[in-house]
Copies of this chain bind each other. A is one copy, B any other.
């Protein structure tokens, strides 16, 4: 436990554009995001004590590991740099561990950076590489992540008597939000009819229920340095960042209408932050597939289990549509519309919460945004990180 009463804060953030960035390498993306975050927080690399790097696929796709030493070379530094991998929750894991590292007292200012380069490869190669995050037997059986989430979706719709139309509202909302985000992969609104008429990928999930394959990087500056936090133009308190794991194989789960890792990480985070779901103004949720956002809202306690299929239809979750002061979800566009460059996703989610809390979200700014939550899931729920930020 920390002797100091200084509260850890996010004091800077930068993300590259998310999309098909064929002209940029993984190294280019890492460098752009680090340079951008340092610039946005008016810090120099010499003021940084350690870096946490998040990436999932570079080993498999481009035989590229030991990214910490490669980042040391780019930045011409000898500071401790750690690389974390936890499939799609790599970014959240790096953040949570980085915050604990600060609290141990060995560092005052750190970077959390994540990147992924995915669009240079055909979809079958990516799908196969992503399956590395699923249970061994599921992988051997040829189950892909659309397949696994398809089963979770079908089970949910049948258990609580909903249809594919209910799922579609996740995609409609998040594409609307993406249309307001200049960094988003897809800046295009979609209609209910378009979602329902899109091709099946893994029944009942259709193309527009699925997040895309995306390139991108994001970087946060996190501080426990009283002076630096005081000087920072923009700052948000890190109230909690909690991790839980679960059996990666669906066969090992107690329930298939929830992700237990989300429930546990969420309960811990709310307890530590001393907040309740009703206090949260904005939530970035891990909508890798439409069903995932509905499960997340229920598992985090925003909605009762089984009610999400109906609740998701409400325009109140959207910017500029329903009640102004109600909880807004995935204002960045979420994984669905902003894109899902795996290693960057968890960091971008926290970055979006930071932008909202510090009133930097421009045309997608949520009014009176005091508390925000980010939920980052690995695979089909084998790991989860829930982070809560508040006004500093």
Contact = CB atoms under 8 A, between A and B. Distances in A.
Interface of A: 1-3, 27, 56-57, 59-60, 63-66, 68-73, 76-87, 93, 96-97, 100-106, 128-129, 131-136, 139, 242-249, 252, 260-261, 264, 378-379, 382-383
Contacts of A379: 66, 69
A66 B105 contact: no
Contacts of A73: 135, 246-249, 252, 382
B81 A245 contact: yes
Given A68-B382, A87-B66, A78 B3 contact: no
B65 A2 contact: no
Contact of A132 (B66, B84, B135, B383): B66
A262 to B, nearest CB: 11
B63 A131 contact: yes
19 contacts: A59-B85, A63-B132, A65-B85, A65-B87, A66-B379, A69-B248, A69-B382, A72-B248, A73-B135, A73-B252, A78-B244, A78-B246, A79-B244, A80-B244, A81-B383, A82-B86, A97-B97, A101-B104, A104-B104
Nearest to A85: B83
A378 B69 contact: yes
Contacts of A85: 59, 65-66, 83, 85
Contacts of A84: 82-84
Leading 6 A-B pairs by shortest Cβ distance = A69-B382, A72-B245, A80-B243, A1-B105, A69-B248, A66-B87
Nearest to A131: B63
Nearest to A3: B1
A115 to B, nearest CB: 15
Given A63-B129, A73-B246, A83-B85, 7 more contacts: A1-B104, A57-B59, A60-B60, A65-B85, A70-B248, A73-B247, A78-B264
Given A80-B245, A245-B81, A264-B78, A87 B69 contact: yes
A248 B133 contact: no
Report which residue of A66, A133, A134, A378 has the largest number of chain B beta carbons within 10 angstroms of its beta carbon: A66
Contacts of A378: 66, 68-69
A103 B100 CA distance: 9
A63 B248 contact: no
Nearest to A56: B65
A97 B80 CA distance: 10
B63 A139 contact: yes
A52 B93 CA distance: 12
Contacts of A27: 136
A146 to B, nearest CB: 17
A60 B70 contact: no
Contacts of A1: 2-3, 104-105
A86 B106 contact: no
For A97, A105, A249, the residue with the greatest tally of chain B CB atoms inside 10 Å of its CB is A97
B93 A248 contact: no
A133 B264 CA distance: 35
